[in-house]
């Protein structure tokens, strides 16, 4: 394609409104980017997670509104594979364990964790957003 006699370069992917858009529709790079941004958001709120000043309900609401919204921005358009969903689910459960201060010697299943936090699985969250 030419504009004013100059050839425009073609590209496989570009960033639009914070999401990586690919010509082939794959979402792998966008999911990696969103995971990185959500990790950074979670890290910036470390003082909140560590504080005993806030109730568990309050911290979980902050997690949902700040971290999960950052993670799942644009997820309505993702063509996800099983490995992508596993990465998202791992991120979700790992952060919930950190918020609740459940560390290695103490173990609970993911289903018990989600029930205790009154949270949904990542698969359910992504499906609902679509």
d(CA 59, CA 27): 30
Rounded to the nearest 10 degrees, how much is the dihedral formed by the CA atoms of 80, 83, 89, 92? Answer: -90
Domain ranges of the chain: 2-129
Quote the tokens at residue 116. 């205790």
37 has pLDDT over 80: yes
Residue ranges of alpha helices (H) inside 4-121 are 28-44, 46-50, 56-62, 69-71, 82-100, 110-117
Contacts of 51 (CB under 8 A, 6+ apart): none
Burial tier of 19 (Cβ tally within 10 Å: 0-12, 13-18, 19+): middle
Task: Give pTM, 2 decimals.
Answer: 0.81
Query: In the prediction, which pLDDT does 59 show?
Result: 96
Higher local confidence (pLDDT), 2 or 92: 92
For residues 95 and 118, the answer to whether their CB atoms sit within 8 Å is no
DSSP state of 26: B
For residue 77, name the pLDDT band (cuts at 50, 70, 90).
confident
Closest by CA position to 41, among listed 16, 58, 63: 63
């Amino acid at each position: 394609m030419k504009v004013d006699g100059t050839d425009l370069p073609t590209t496989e992917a570009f960033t639009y409104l914070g999401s990586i858009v690919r010509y082939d529709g794959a979402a792998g790079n966008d999911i990696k980017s969103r995971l990185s941004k959500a990790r950074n958001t979670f890290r910036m709120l470390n003082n909140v997670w560590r504080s005993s000043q806030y109730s568990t309900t309050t911290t979980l609401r902050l997690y949902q509104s700040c971290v999960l919204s950052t993670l799942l921005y644009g997820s309505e358009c993702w063509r996800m594979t099983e490995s992508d969903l596993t990465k998202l689910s791992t991120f979700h459960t790992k952060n919930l364990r950190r918020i609740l201060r459940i560390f290695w010697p103490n173990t609970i299943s993911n289903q018990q964790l989600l029930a205790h936090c009154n949270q949904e699985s990542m698969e359910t969250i992504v499906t609902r957003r679509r």
